[in-house]
Structure 1
Amino acid sequence: MPEPTDERGVREVKSAARTVDVLELLASRGDRPARLQELADALAVPRSSMYALLQTLTARGWVRTDTTGSLYGIGIRALLTGTSYLDSDPRVRAVRPYLDEASDALGETIHMGRLDGTDIAYLATRESHEYLRTISRVGRRLPAHAGALGKALLAERPAEALPEPPYTRLTPHTHTTRETLLADLTATRARGYSVDREEGVPGIVGFGFALRYDTPAQDAISCSVPVARLTPTHEERIIAVMREIRAKIESMPSSGSAGAPHWR
């Protein structure tokens, strides 16, 4: 079987692809470490080859193992590399002060996220001081159809660009059909922002605003608030403040990222 190629016809390096597959699989498991045979089976790799790869990654800090050497998890080097990504991204650096401004004004949790395939990756978060429940964190991924950030960005795209169902149900309120998601995105476009009423996290309502400094928008900001704290007056305040914050972000001088590469 021929090796996979990219759009430029460049052949994939099998060893590099296998390394990335291992790291992504371990990262996807969260706090559930994996055994050697589990990884070998999941990736259809010979046990001996998987063992050699894991030993190399462990020695370099990308994978960690327990004291018995039988369980494997993602290593600290992954964290350091992820932090470097955030520090080097001009958009994230530019938006952070505005997240602080929104957090100070509203006292609620504020997020910045980026569309990554069919998911949203959280790039920055300002937690509310009013409640201690953490609903997301930097580096977390959620399906784009199931939250305010994702729906704000999906609404910027044509229907044919939407993720294909079936859609993962995170709560009883999550959209699980294309028809209901399309109707929601139509309403989002009409009002100019998305609303997530306990679709991603029970008890939490989110309001998402696409940042249109790219076309189509890749980034969005949102405000999350517990249902118990969301009065009609507070909702109006959230929408007004977040609209103002979005306008400030979108009006930033383009020179803010002058000299930075335009990443694909």
Structure 2
Amino acid sequence: MPESSGGSGVRGAQEPRGARGVRGVKSATRTVALLELLAARGDRPARLDELAEELDVPRSSMYQLLQTLIDCGWVRSDTTGSLYGIGIRALFTGTSYLDSDPHVRLVRPCLDQASDALGETIHLARLDGPDVVYLATRESHEYLRTISRVGRRIPAHAGALGKALLAERTDSELPLPEGRLPALTENTHTSRTTLLADLAQVRARGYSIDREETVPGIAGFGFALRYDSPATDAISCSVPVARLSQSHEARVIEVMRETRTKIEAALPSTSGAPDWR
């Protein structure tokens, strides 16, 4: 699946009201918007003027915020002090999120077992608005990639993981953007009509299929994990189409179904655990 990282979707430092009607704190909103923007840029560092313009913040205010975050380790700069990127403290927070999540801890060994059984790449992802975010990946030894997918996001409509989770919702509840859907390949659904038809098939068969809709040359098979209702997590198997024979596809589906059943049956008691929003 792709190494896509969409933007933060935050422009300007407004003072939004949350779901509970509480006015947002402007400085906190601005800080989060900046960190999300830097994270979304990946290996493309940003200049001060770019960040100020993108977030509609005065240049002087942006400079002060950047220096504060550099001192705290959340932002880093190059030796000239003119380029900015996400800092190492973001890694600490991200890994803490994964390490503290009981579902991720439960699923990780099951991903290992499925990858060993199939020799393919196995993923765990979580729905986040109109996207899915990768929480864990076990790479195939047959075709290695050099960039970790953990923390990366792709549009939910564009792949097996997302379609498996969208199919758990009614058509009127789908968290999709307005207008034409963005395409990652020439096979990605870009209209709601074709996507809804595909989701109906996902519900009927019990799993999703991605045939080069996310990455050319790669097929995917996605299975929603129904320990939440509606499901927010899913697992998938990615296979190069060049070796996806009919018998291998049947084997992938069999193993992934068994993996889903094993995960759902192994959930520990959540008595006393927080019910995260």
Matched, 1:221 2:239: no
1:196 aligns with 2:196: no
Q: Percent identity?
A: 74
Pick aligned residue for 1:237 from 223, 229, 251 = 251
Equivalent residue, structure 1, for 2:7: none
Number of aligned pairs? 262
- Counterpart of 2:37, as a letter, is L
Runs of 4+ in 1 over 6 A off after TM superposition: none
Q: Aligned to 1:42, what secondary structure does the other structure show? A: helix
Q: What secondary structure is seen at the aligned counterpart in 2 of 1:150?
A: helix
Partner residue of 1:36 out of 48, 73, 78: 48
Distance in 2, matches of 1:67 and 1:134, equals 27
Looking at both structures, which has the greater relative contact order when contacts are Cα pairs under 8 Å and sequence separation is at least 6? 2
Q: 2:152 aligns with which of 140, 154, 158?
A: 140
| Normalised TM-score (structure 1) | 0.96
Which residue of 138, 158, 164 corresponds with 1:126? Answer: 138
- Aligned mates of 1:6, 1:126 — CA distance in 2: 37
CA contact under 8 A between 1:90 and 1:260: conserved in structure 2? no
Displacement of 1:161: 1.9
Q: Is the CA contact (8 Å cut-off) linking 2:106 and 2:267 kept in structure 1?
A: no
Alignment match, 2:4? none
Q: What's the offset of the Cα at 1:251? A: 1.2
**Matched residue type, 2:32:** V
Q: What amino acid is aligned across from residue 200 of structure 1 in structure 2?
A: T
The match for 1:117 is 129
Secondary structure at the aligned position of 1:129 is classed as coil
Contact 1:127 1:134 in 2 (8 A): no
Q: Helix, strand or coil for the counterpart of 1:225?
A: strand
Pair 1:63 & 2:75 matched? yes
| TM-score, normalised with respect to structure 2 | 0.92
Give the deviation of 1:136 after TM superposition. Answer: 5.8
Unaligned runs of 5+ in 1: none
Q: Map of 1:97-116 to 2, 5 A cutoff? A: 97-116=109-128
Q: Which residue number corresponds to residue 186 of structure 1?
A: 200
